Amino acid sequence: MDNENQYYETSENQPRSTNTTDSAPSWASQILRIQTSTSQDSLSDQRPGHSQPHPEKFTASDKSFYPQFRSLLEAKLPIDTRAIGNEAEKVWYGFGRLKGTASRRIHPWIEFAKNTERFTVEIFLNKLDKALEIPIRSPKP
């Protein structure tokens, strides 16, 4: 019986730790360390939020709204680069802002150009102009 009590007694002069990993069994401490490092890694991999609002989805039902849509998209892509991602992700974002007829008309090019060096925002916007048969006029000086 005296041998059982020695496992439950603590020495009064032994320092108490406030760190939970010090008082936990070694396997639990290891799990806590792994979880902490994993959560810190995933936090550093997260992208920042968008600072600009998402442009309304463009359907091509009223082509008179296209110049405004295009300008908003052209502004958003460089401003929110960190939130959106690389060049290909910007093209996918732009494609995602299309709906209905607009999406259907550019989709063949998306399928053709994805995973190639032609999958750029500049080419996407030019192809979108042509697919929607909308002439983009330069402003007169």
pLDDT at residue 45 greater than cutoff 90: no
Phi, psi dihedral angles at 10 (to 5 degrees): -120, 150
Residue 95 contacts residue 124 (beta carbons within 8 Å): yes
Looking at residues 12-22, what average pLDDT do you find?
Answer: 53
Looking at residues 121-128, what average pLDDT do you find?
Answer: 97
Residue 27's pLDDT band (cuts 50, 70, 90): confident
Looking up tokens 């998209």 gives 73
Q: What is the pTM of this model?
A: 0.65
Q: Which letter does DSSP use for residue 12 in this model?
A: T
Looking at residues 21-37, what average pLDDT do you find?
Answer: 69
Residue 24's pLDDT band (cuts 50, 70, 90): low
Residue 48's pLDDT band (cuts 50, 70, 90): confident
pLDDT at residue 36 greater than cutoff 80: no
Q: What is the dihedral of CA 97, 99, 102, 106, to 10 degrees?
A: 70
Comparing 12 with 31, the larger pLDDT belongs to 31
Domain boundaries, the chain: 66-131
CA distance 91 to 123: 9
**For position 15, what pLDDT does the model report?**
55
